[in-house]
Structure 1
Amino acid sequence: MSDLFPTPSPAQWRTLAEKALKDRPIESLVHMDADGLVTRPLYAGATGVEAVFAPRPSDADGRAWDLRTLVEGDEAAAVNVAVLADLEGGAASIVLKGAVLADSEPLARALDGVALELAAVALDAGLDGPDAANALAVAAKGSPRARLMFHMDPVSAFAETGEAPRSMEEHLTLAANTAARHAGAYPDATFFLGSGRVAHEAGGSIAQELAFAASNAVALIKAAVEAGMTAERALKGVVLGVSVDQEYFDGLAKVRALRLMWRSICQAFGVEAPALIEARSSRRMLSARDPWPNLLRLTAAGFAGAVGGADAVVLDGFTRAEGRPDAFARRQARNTQLVLMEEANLGRVDDPAAGSWYLDQRTRELAEAGWAEFQIIEAEGGLVEALRGHLIQSRIARSREVLETALAKGGKQMVGVTKFVDPDPRPSAFEAEPRVSPVGGGDACVPLTPIRLAAPFEAEGAAK
C-alpha cells in the first residue's frame, strides 16, 4: 500500500504548493490569530506535532453528551410548559433564567412534573445566584439525589455589568457559604460555574476566554475552601463554561484545551477531579436582521461542542439576537442537537479529534496560550483585581479590534451579513426580553459589554 500511495516529504509538498499558488508566496497560506498563534498550511508527523488525548470522562447516562436547553422566563406556568416540552422532546437537562428564580414557590411551580433525580436543573441567576440556589434547594426538598447545578458565577455577572451591590469578596464568600450549606443535603449537586464566556462575548480571544474561565474557577475554589469545603469537594463542584461558535475547529480545540488546563489546576490543588465542561453557543455570532443563517452557525457550534468533548451542550434559539426564543426556535435548538447526536452519531468516537496533526497542535497551543494568560491574571492579583484595574478589559479590547477589523476588511465573512446577504429576509417570531438594571453601590469595574459582530453591518444596511 505504501508503494501505491507514497507519503510526500514536506519539501515535496512545498514544491507542489508553490506550483499551485502560481504568483502567490507560500507565506500567504500562513495565518495569525488574535493570540499571536500561527496556523500553518501543513501539519504532519515530520513537523513535530505531539499527540493529545482529551476525552470527556463519562457518557452522560448512555448518551454521548448532555443535551441541555436554556429556558428563559418570568411566569412559572409558561416556564413549566417550556421545560416539560424540552424534556419530553429529548433534552436531558435544563438551564433556567429569569424572574422565576426569585423565590422557591414560583420555581417549584416551574419544575412541577420534573423528576429532579433524572433531569438535572441548572440556574443562570447572575449575582443573585445564592438566592436562586436557596430557592432551588427548597424546591427540590424531598429529593436528596436531585441533580442540581447551582451554577453560581458572581464574577462573570460583575464583569459584564461592571456593578455589584457588595464587594466581590463578599459575593464570592456568599456563594461559597451557600455551596457549603447545601453540599451535605445534595451530594450529587454541583455549585459553581467557572465560565469564561463573558470574555468571548465581549470580543475576547480564545486564550483570553480560557484564562478567564480558569481564573474564575480558581477564585471560586479558593472561596469554597475558605468556607470549609474540602478542596476535592470544591473542585468536583465546579462546572467549566466556554463558548462555541461557527469556527468549529477552533471551538472543539478550545474545549479540549480547557480540559488540559483543568488537569494542571487540579494538580496545583493536589486533587484529581474530572473536568465538567458546559459549552454554550456564542451570541456574538448571531445575526438579527436575517436570523435564519443562525441555524447554520448554531449547528456548527453544536458540532464543535460535541466533537470537542463537552459534557453538556447548550444551543440558543436562532432568534436570540432579537429576544427570547419562542417555542419554535427552542424546538429547533433542541432538534439540532438531536440530529447531531442520533443521526450524525457524533458521539460514537471518543475524542475524534485525537490523532489529527492540526487539531492536536491547535489544542496544545491554545492550552499553552490560555495558561500563560491565566498566569498573567493571577500575577495581577487574581481575576477580581485584574477587572478592577481595567487590565483584562484593555487586552480584550485589542482582540475585539482585531476581530472587527478582519470583518470590516473582508478577512473574515459572515453568511447573511457580509456575504450572500438576502435583500428581503423573512421575519421570525420571538418573545420580548425585559430589561433588568444592574444594582450597584458595592463594587465596580469597567464592564465587558457583550458585542454582536453583525450589528454594525445591519445598522449600515438599515441606514441605506
Structure 2
Amino acid sequence: MSENLFDEFGPVSSKLWKQQIQFELKGADYNEALVWESPEGIKVKPFYHIDEAKDGLVVNTQASEFVICQDIFVHDVDKSAARAVSTLKRGAEAIRFTISTEGTDVEKLLAGIDAATPVYFHLEFISIDFVKQLDAIAKKTGAQFYVQLDPVGYLAREGNWYNGSDNLDALNTISIACTNLSFLSVDATLYQNAGANIVQQIAYTLAHTNEYFNRIATLHQPIVLQVAVGTNYFFEIAKLRAIKLLFSIIAKEYGHEHDCHILALPTRRNKTLYDYNVNMLRTTTECMSAILGGANAVINLPYDALYHKSNEFGDRIARNQLLVLKHESYFDKVNNPADGSYYIEELTQQLADKALALFKDIEANGGFLAQLKENTIQRKIQESANKEQELFDSGREVLLGTNKYPNKADRMSHDLELFPFVKVNPRRTIVSPIIPKRLAEKMEQERLENEEKPL
C-alpha cells in the first residue's frame, strides 16, 4: 500500500506539546513537576523534539554486532582449556583468560580454540616476552588476540606500578615488537565501581587513554576500553556512545586510525548479597544498555559472583541471558537501534560536552597521571560516591530486596565462599588507590552480624 495514511495529521511543534502539557498540569509548575536533574547536572525533560535538537542531531556512533564473551580464570591450564572449548560449544563467541603467572603454557591453553574466535588475555603481570609469545602465535595462526595491559589502571587500582617501577617504557617496546595483536587496554570499570558519576567516568576514561597516546609512539591495533555499565538504562546507552564519539575525536589528533574496542561488563556497585536473584534482572538491563550503546563484546556477571566461586550454574545463566538477548530478542539484527531517539541523542551530546570540558580541565592541569598523584581524581570520585551513598542510605536510591522490600527471612552467612566486602590491605603506595565499593556493603554487614546472634 503506497497511500500515506497520516497526511491529515499536521506536524506538532515542541511549543504546542509543552502548551498542552502545561494545560494538563492545571497550574502546577512545569519544571518542578516534570523536569528532574541527574547527578551529572543534566536536566531531563518529559519529552524531546527534533526542533530543539542541537546541530540537527549529528551524533554518529556506528555500532557493530556484539560478541558474547566468557570469563575464565586460569588456575589449571588443562581444566581452563577444556572449559573454554566446552563454553564455546554452548554459545560463547569469545573467551577472556585471566592469567596470573608468566609461566602459563599458552599453546596448551589455546588448544581446541579456532583461530577465528576472539581471545582476550587479562594479565596480572607485565612481561614483554610473554606478549611476544602471543604475538608469534597470532602471526602464525591469524588469531584475533587482545592483550589487556594497563599499567596506568594498575597504578590507579593498586597504588603502585607493576613491579614497583614505571612500566610505560615496556609498552613502547611491545608496540614495536608486537604488531599482530592489540596489546593495550584501559580499565574504566574502576571508576564506575568506585562511585564516579557518568561524566567523570567518560572523562577519566579519555584522560587515562590520553596518557598512552602521549607516551606510546606507535599503536598498530585498536585500544580495548573495558567499561562497566550500570542500571540507569538510557544514560548508560548514551555513555557508551559518548565514549566512542570522543575517543574518535582524540584519536584523530594522534593519527590513530582505529575505533576503540569496547568490552562491556555489568557494574558490581549495585549488586547485592541478599535477594541475590534480583542481580539477574539488573545485569539483564545493563547488558541491554551495553549492546544498544555499541559494545563490541559483552561479559555478563553471574548473579552469585559476589559470594560464590566461579561455578557452572552461575556461568551458564549469565551466558544464557546474553544468548536470549541476541537470539530471542534479536539484538543482533538491528544496527544502531538507538539512532533517531531524540532523548538518547540529546543525552549523548550533553554527556559528551560535559565530559570533554572535564577532560580539557584535566589536561590543562597536568594530565591524568599528575592529577592521580595529586589525589585529585580520587577525591572527586569519593565526593560522587559519598553523594550516591547518601541517596542509598536515605532510601532515595533503591536496591530492591536490600533497602526496599527486603526479605527478613534471607540467610546468607552459611553460603559465603568469597568475602563480598572491601578488603583492607594496608601497604605503602605511590598514590592513593581508587577503591571499588558496593552501595549495600554496610547494610549487608549489619544483617550478617544479626544472623549470627542467637535468637
* TM-score w.r.t. length of structure 1: 0.86
Map of 2:44 onto structure 1 = 39
Q: 2:122 aligns with which of 118, 121, 124?
A: 124
The DSSP-based 3-state class of the residue aligned with 1:348 is: coil
Residue type of the alignment partner of 2:92: A
Residues 281-296 of structure 1 aligned to structure 2 (within 5 Å):
281-296=266-281
Would you say 1:71 and 2:57 are equivalent positions?
no
Does residue 319 of structure 1 match 2:325? no
- Match for residue 95 of structure 1? 96
Q: Is the 8 A contact 2:288 2:325 kept in 1?
A: yes
Runs of 5+ unmatched residues, structure 1: 59-63
Q: Secondary structure at the match of 2:183?
A: strand
Query: 1:53: Cα distance to partner?
Result: 4.3
Query: How many angstroms apart in 2 are the aligned matches of 1:433 and 1:153?
Result: 26
Distance 1:456 1:132 in 2: 44
Distance 1:121 1:369 in 2: 34
Aligned residues: 442
Kept after mapping to 1: 8 A contact 2:193/2:269? yes
Indicate the larger mover: 37-46 or 47-56: 47-56
Write the mapping of 1:61-460 to structure 2, written as runs, cut at 5 A: 64-99=65-100, 101-105=101-105, 107-115=106-114, 117-126=115-124, 128-130=125-127, 133-134=130-131, 137=134, 140=137, 143-165=140-162, 170-183=166-179, 187=180, 189-225=181-217, 229=218, 233=220, 236-425=221-410, 432=418, 444-460=430-446
* Identity within the alignment, %: 24
Query: Residues of 2 paired with 1:401 and 1:300: CA distance?
Result: 25
Which residue in the other structure is 1:61 paired with? none
User: Is contact 1:194–1:220 with CA below 8 Å preserved after alignment?
Assistant: no
> What secondary structure, in the 3-state scheme, does the structure 2 residue paired with 1:124 have?
strand
Structure 2 residue aligned with 1:25? 29
Match in the other structure for 2:453: none
Alpha carbons of structure 1 residues 138 and 3: separation in structure 2 relative to 1, 3 Å: closer
Q: CA deviation at 1:2?
A: 4.8
Give, in angstroms, the shift of residue 338 of structure 1: 0.9
Is the CA contact 2:53–2:346 (under 8 Å) kept in the aligned structure 1?
A: no
Q: Given the superposition, is the C-alpha separation of residues 163 and 15 from structure 1 closer, same or farther in structure 2, using an over 3 Å criterion?
A: same
Matched position secondary structure for 2:127: helix
SS in 2 for 1:346: coil
Q: For the residues of structure 1 that align with 2:40 and 2:79, how far apart are their CA atoms?
A: 43
3-state SS of the aligned residue for 1:102? coil
CA distance in 1, matches of 2:404, 2:133: 45
Amino acid at match of 1:31: W
Q: Report the residue type matching 2:57 in the other structure.
A: A
Which residue type is aligned with residue 95 of structure 2? Answer: I
- Amino acid aligned to 1:95: R
1:379-403 deviation digits (Å, cap 9, x = unpaired): 2222211111101111111111221
Name the aligned partner's letter for residue 153 of structure 2: S
* TM-aligned CA deviation for residue 88 of structure 1: 1.2
Give the letter for the 1:54 counterpart.
Answer: N
Task: State which drifts further: 381-390 or 170-179.
Answer: 170-179
Q: Deviations over 1:23-54 (max 9, x none)?
A: 85322322222322222222112323432443
Q: Given residue 280 of structure 1, which amino acid in structure 2 is its aligned partner?
A: L
Check whether the contact 2:132–2:178 (CA below 8 A) recurs between aligned residues.
no
Q: Give 1:256 deviation, angstroms.
A: 0.6
Length-normalised TM-score, structure 2? 0.87
What is the DSSP-based 3-state SS (H/G/I as helix, E as strand, rest coil) of the residue aligned with 1:36?
A: coil
| Per-residue CA distance 1:298-340 (angstroms, 9 max, x = gap) | 1111101111111111111111222433111111111111111
Quick one: structure 1 residues 323 and 134, their matched pair in 2 at CA, closer, same or farther if it must change by over 3 Å? farther
The change in CA–CA distance for 1:337 and 1:45 in structure 2 (over 3 A counts) is same
> In structure 1, the residue corresponding to 2:247 is in which secondary structure?
helix
| Letter of the 2:142 counterpart | R
Task: Name the aligned partner's letter for residue 80 of structure 1.
Answer: A
Q: Report the Cα offset of residue 362 of structure 1.
A: 0.3
Assess, with a 3 A threshold, how the Cα gap between structure 1 residues 24 and 160 changes in structure 2: closer, same or farther: farther
Match of 1:351, SS? coil
AA of the residue aligned to 1:444: I
| Structure 2: gaps spanning 5 or more residues | 451-455
